[in-house]
């Protein structure tokens, strides 16, 4: 059983994700069926409860590649960079008891998780970094998901060449995982713009495309069907799996 899951999940890893050149194979219905099955098994059997491996300081990667729809050229984002993010606000709304906004000082006061973890991009590279930030579980307790809330949606500043904004999501079970954080620091310094600063999601138990960079708005929702392409995320709308457990 375990081996089956492993094989299925490595297949998913090889086929899904952020490869910039889309692979025609991904579109074959039988491949999709296998991936869906793997996704389902992973989600129920491993992903949500398993822990990502923790690394040592000496494992930290020196030259950390970046990946994304380019660093947002968006005017609002550029102004925030110029002002060293003093004007940055994270807005939280949707199905929450206490909608509110957070500036970086408020977020830093909640940052109590530091973990050295690896992120795996399906384009074939992995990097180990030290991330410090706010445990997502603590953050959600503060804003109070309403009983009908099921998903946490993350919205970013960047857009692709068609003007489509980047976004992503996890469900509340994944959000409760102790290693998921709203990251503020990378390797002891505020996350730079290229790596998703000032606030990005880090999910060390899933492929890196789920770790949404440049987050400016979080919304709790009961379903993601009516949001953009309806699949829960930018990459998911291109056909990749919503659950990307490693
Ligand atoms: N907003 C946003 N987040 C994103 C992406 C993106 O294009 N936009 N790319 C994802 C992908 S495919 C990867 S591999 C990681 C890369 O993170 P890094 O640039 O810090 O290495 O960010 C993820 N988060
Ligand atoms: Mo990626």
- CB of 74 within 8 A of CB of 156? no
**68: which 2 tokens?**
């994304």
Neighbours of 160 (CB within 10 A): 13
Instruction: Judge if the beta carbon of residue 158 lies within 6 A of ligand 1.
Output: yes
Ligand 2 centre to CA of 148 (Å) is 32
How high is the pLDDT of residue 235? Answer: 96
pLDDT value at position 71? 83
Question: What's the confidence (pLDDT) of residue 40?
Answer: 56
Give the pLDDT confidence score for residue 1 in this predicted structure.
38
Cβ 77 under 6 angstroms from ligand 1: no
| Closest C-alpha to 174, from 48, 51, 53 | 48
Distance in angstroms (rounded) separating the CA atoms of residues 66 and 157: 16
Cα distance between residue 211 and residue 139, in whole Å: 16
The predicted structure's pLDDT at residue 63 = 87
Instruction: At 156, list the tokens.
Output: 């970013």
Residue 45: its pLDDT value, please? 45
3-state secondary structure of 146: coil
The protein residue with its alpha carbon nearest to ligand 1, atom 2, reads 213
> 65-99 in b/e burial notation, b at 16+ Cβ within 10 A?
eebbbebbebeebeebeeeebeebbbebebbbeee
Phi, psi of 19 (to 5 degrees): -50, 130
CA distances from 48 to 59, 65, 106, 122 (A): 25, 27, 28, 20
| CB distance 87 to ligand 1 below 6 Å | no
Tell me, what's the pLDDT at 170?
Answer: 98
Nearest CA residue ID for atom 6, ligand 1: 68
Evaluated on CA atoms 198, 193, 135, 187, the torsion sign reads: negative
| Pocket lining: 124 vs ligand 1, CB cutoff 6 Å | no
pLDDT tens, per residue, the chain with 246 residues? 343 344 344 444 444 445 443 333 344 444 444 555 555 555 544 456 699 999 999 999 998 889 887 788 889 999 999 999 999 999 999 999 999 999 999 999 999 999 999 999 988 999 999 999 999 999 999 999 999 999 999 999 999 999 999 999 999 999 999 999 999 999 999 999 999 999 999 999 999 999 999 999 999 999 999 999 999 999 999 999 999 998
pLDDT of 69 reads: 79
* Tens of pLDDT, residues 151-181: 999 999 999 999 999 999 999 999 999 999 9
Euclidean distance between CA atoms 163 and 39, whole angstroms: 29
DSSP label of 56: -
Please give the helix or strand (H or E) that residue 204 lies within, else none: none
Residue pair 221/150 in contact by the 8 Å Cβ criterion: yes
Global pTM value: 0.85
Distance CA 226, CA 228 (A): 7
Residue 53 DSSP one-character state? P
């Amino acid at each position: 059983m375990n081996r089956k899951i492993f094989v299925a999940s490595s297949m998913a890893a090889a086929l899904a994700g952020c490869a910039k050149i889309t692979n025609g194979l991904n579109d074959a219905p039988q491949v999709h069926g296998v991936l869906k099955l793997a996704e389902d098994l992973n989600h129920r059997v491993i992903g949500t409860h398993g822990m990502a491996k923790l690394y040592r300081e000496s494992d930290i990667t020196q030259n950390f590649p970046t990946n994304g729809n380019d660093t947002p050229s968006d005017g609002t984002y550029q102004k925030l960079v110029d002002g060293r993010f003093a004007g940055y606000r994270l807005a939280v709304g949707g199905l929450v008891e206490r909608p509110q906004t957070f500036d970086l000082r408020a977020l830093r006061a909640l940052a109590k998780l530091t973990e050295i973890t690896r992120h795996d991009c399906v384009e074939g590279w992995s990097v180990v970094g030290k991330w410090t930030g706010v445990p997502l579980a603590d953050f959600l307790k503060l804003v109070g998901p309403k009983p009908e809330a099921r998903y946490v949606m993350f919205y970013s500043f960047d857009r692709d060449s068609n003007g489509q904004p980047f976004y992503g999501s996890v469900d509340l079970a994944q959000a409760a995982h102790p290693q998921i954080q709203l990251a503020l620091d990378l390797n002891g310094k505020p996350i730079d713009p290229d790596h998703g600063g000032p606030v990005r999601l880090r999910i060390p138990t899933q492929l890196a495309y789920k770790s949404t960079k440049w987050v400016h708005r979080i919304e709790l929702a009961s379903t993601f069907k009516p949001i953009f392409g309806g699949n829960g995320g930018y990459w998911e709308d291109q056909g990749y799996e919503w659950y990307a457990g490693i």
